[in-house]
Homo-oligomer: A and B are copies of this chain.
């Protein structure tokens, strides 16, 4: 029972990361579906896109409420709104990128972020040669300004794209200054204080999982 008349909170015990990851996927498909002008979608259709099963889709959603109509499926518009709210995308997030090397610069200019409500409010580098570079309207700023800017702009998320050996020190600085979530692209294990969320993306690991699968048959 869910009438969408008021902002809801989703009283959550513990949600598996796999569920959250799939919700993010569903959201992407829903947006495509909406662009095509479809009004409703069934769990089976959503599952077909995402390579999962209709039961999985329904179970994922059931942790947060019931959003469909039996016999009919889901309103594309309403389900989109519901998932956006579940994921916390109803208000925009501010992101800083620490490290203006190849990856940092690529991310700073990546359209996929801004289109989903993540606004890059600062890009930082230690190298004087990179400070002042223009990346898509943003100017690379010196790392020494990090603390001041975090206090001023209050970004919630920091993306770390510096070399492995510099990563921990910078994470310490940005979390001390108030950053609450870190997305780490540096190939180094990082630790963060309690209350700060950390995720890591490691390109080499992704290729190594492919290598394992190629080597050991289709057994992942």
Interface size class of A (residues with CB under 8 A): 35 or more
Q: Are A116 and B210 in contact (CB under 8 A)?
A: no
Q: Are A88 and B183 in contact (CB under 8 A)?
A: no
Task: Please report which residues of chain A, range 6-52, place their CB below 8 angstroms from some CB of chain B when the two chains form the complex.
Answer: 10, 12-17, 20-21, 23-25, 27-29, 49-51
Number of copies: 2
Binds B, one of A65-73, A123-131, A144-152, A194-202: A194-202
Binds B, one of A53-61, A74-82, A107-115, A169-177: A107-115
Q: Are A103 and B93 in contact (CB under 8 A)?
A: no
Given that A189-B25, A209-B17, A220-B15 are contacting pairs, would A214 and B110 also be in contact in the complex, using a CB cutoff of 8 Å?
A: no
Q: Give the CA-CA distance A177 to B105 in the complex, in Å.
A: 32
